[in-house]
Structure 1
Amino acid sequence: MWRAWPTSGGSAARSQVRHASDRWASPPPASRSDDRVRTIRTPDGRSIALELYGQPDGVPVFWFHGIPSSRLGACVLDRQAASRGVQLIAPDRPGYGYSDPAPDRCVTDWPHDVCAIATELGLGKFSVLGVSGGFQYVAAAAHAIPDRIHRVGVVSAMGPLGAPGVLTGIDPRMRVVYELGLRHHRAARVWLSSFGRSDPARVAKRQMRLLHECDQELLGRPEQQQARIEDLSESARQGMRAAQDEGQRYLEEWPFQLECLDIPFHLWQGEFDKSHPPAMGRYLEATIPRSVMHWRPGVGGLFYLDDFGSVLDDLLG
């Protein structure tokens, strides 16, 4: 049953208990969209928070956020989704934002939460779209519930990091982090926890330094920068445990094979993406049997911030 998120008490209060080493330097402020937050109760009793963007009662498209991120990552896509007649359904995965944590769950449990949301919304079939580290969760949904999915795709996908050659062309600083994490999983958790010990604005600036100039220009716009800061802050509302767990799952053996996905799978790859390099896109295109690759020349991985309408056209057209 739909309900607004409570300001105190119950599982909400318990879920906001954080380890000191994982919290932001300052507590996350109230989001400018807190009044839009809705939650559903899953069959096992957890709360999943989400926001709806775009056109009310439009074509339903789920948006799976990256790592770390939250439902607020979709707020900058609101107008573009509305212009295409799309309702963007943006949930917080467990442990992010206002969604109850579920540290012992597997990536393949996420499709059950998606179906619970869809049932609450009265949806039969729906489309699924993700970004960056949301790829693993989009792929899990395509694997587990293909009969519920109309169209599926990922922008600037981050696939399996241990696949041969996929890190070619990535920013050297990120390559060091990923390769160290592949050898020592604890190192990846420590690195992700460092996000929580910094001010979100400083984290956003650090991230910008890893981007190509075209992505720096996009993310450097005041409205985009503010949205990213709010998204990062919201992602760590309960600490960094969720991001640490998800990062570790990326480094471990995945519980399904991409070669077994049996549904048309759209991918968008920017030529100058330094975080999800073209080598990653080529690997995914070759590995997913029914992949549909949309190469984007002259842009980076954040091109969709300006051109989300064309992504929706590709997906739904």
Structure 2
Amino acid sequence: MTNLTSQQFVLKDGYRLGYAEYGDLHGDPLFYCHGFPASRLEAQIIDAAAKRNRWHLIAVDRPGYGLSDFKPGRCMLDWPDNVAELANALDLSPFSLLGISGGGPYVLACAWKIPAYLRGVGIVNGLGPVYESWAAHDMKWPARLGFGLAKRASWLLPLVYGGIVAQALYWFPRVTQSLLTISAPKADSLVLKRPDIEAFLLASMREALHKGPQGALLDFKLYAHPWGFRLEDIRLKIHLWQGEADATVPASHARYLEKILPSAQAQYFPDEGHFSLPINYMDNILGALKEMQASPELSL
């Protein structure tokens, strides 16, 4: 890894945030919220598109992932303050914000708490409020099991997903990749078999867990409980992109967000999946964010 992809910033509370920079370093700032479990290295997948669209991409490890220190007891609404502090230190405020999959709730937390910092805001195949039973029920059984445990018996999470499971994900990430390919829709299977995409995703997953599973386990718990803010109170424009063939985060999540967010704009792609949509359409997504940042006003 180069210095640009393995940087750290010390927050006022003494904890360290790991971050990476991609794209055009002279372009407009775009902070990136990675998926689950993943890391700042996930953003390498969109590096080329960020360069073409003149975005300066800053991908930040959430606490416990990658180079970021684990913060016991953190809540989802701590994240906007961390991002704002880093943006101020880098002199990159205001900025746009993009989240993918499990990064979606953290984007929404930022839109609720630090709207003055934000310009264009987008979420791709974003996880919905799985603390509500319908949202978890619409997902595959492993996700239902995980979020059910996180909600009702979080003490079991380390037993089920920690230990040997986390070690297997770290030491043998290709096994996970193979399982994703087997159960994925056609569009996802095609992109997951690409050597470049496989390399990016495997590196991101290994980096996510190299300090252990604590960050991912806490994320599991935070997703499965109320996030600390009401979605209907978010007034900033939010653009949603969703693959209709997504077998990981179902399209029902995006439809719910489109309905409950006061100023949401959603675009659905009938044949795209969880991985294929951000890979195949990132130029379109980043282009739309460019247009959004010109008029990010709050809805009335």
Task: Provide TM-score, normalisation by structure 1.
Answer: 0.85
Q: Is 2:232 the counterpart of 1:262? A: no
Measured after TM superposition, the shift of residue 72 of structure 1 is 0.3
Deviation at 1:34, TM superposition (A): 5.9
**Superposed displacement of residue 208, structure 1:** 2.8
Which amino acid is the alignment partner of residue 306 of structure 1? N
**Which residue in 1 is equivalent to 2:69?**
100
Q: Residues 57 and 217 (structure 1 numbering): CA distance in 2 closer, same or farther, change over 3 Å?
A: same
| Pairwise CA distance, 1:33 | 4.2
Deviating runs (4+, > 6 A) in structure 1?
Answer: none
Give the letter for the 2:267 counterpart: H
1:253 to 214, 226, 230: 226
- Superposed CA offset, 1:87-133 (max 9, x none): 11101111111112212221111111111211121122101100111
The 1-side partners of 2:17 and 2:208 are apart by 14
Question: What is the RMSD of the two structures over their aligned residues, measured on CA atoms?
Answer: 1.8
Which of 257, 280, 288 is the aligned partner of 1:284?
257
CA deviation profile, 1:241-268 (whole Å, cap 9, x unmatched): 0000011011112211111111011111
Q: Aligned match of 1:197 in 167, 170, 185?
A: 167
Report what 1:316 is aligned to: 290
**Structure 2: distance between partners of 1:207 and 1:186:** 27
In the other structure, the counterpart of 1:64 is 33
TM-score, normalised relative to structure 2: 0.89
2:175 matched to 1:208?
no
Tell me which amino acid in the other structure corresponds to 2:219: E
What amino acid is aligned across from residue 251 of structure 1 in structure 2? A
Identity of aligned residues (%): 31
Match of 1:305 among 279, 284, 287: 279
Local SS of the residue matching 1:165: helix
Assess if the C-alpha contact under 8 Å between 2:124 and 2:242 holds in 1: yes
The answer for unaligned runs of 5 or more in structure 2 is: 292-300
Determine the structure 2 residue equivalent to 1:223. Answer: 196
Q: How many residues align?
A: 286
Q: Distance in 2 between matches of 1:106 and 1:167?
A: 20
Q: Quote how far apart the aligned CAs of 1:306 are.
A: 2.2
Match of 1:17 in 2: none
Q: Which amino acid aligns with 1:280?
A: H
Please report how far the alpha carbon of residue 169 of structure 1 lies from its aligned counterpart in structure 2 after TM superposition: 5.2
Q: Which amino acid aligns with 2:266?
A: M
Q: Is the contact made by 2:31 and 2:96 (CA closer than 8 Å) also made in structure 1?
A: yes
Partner of residue 78, structure 1: 47
Deviation, structure 1 residue 183? 3.7
Contact 2:131 2:223 in 1 (8 A): no
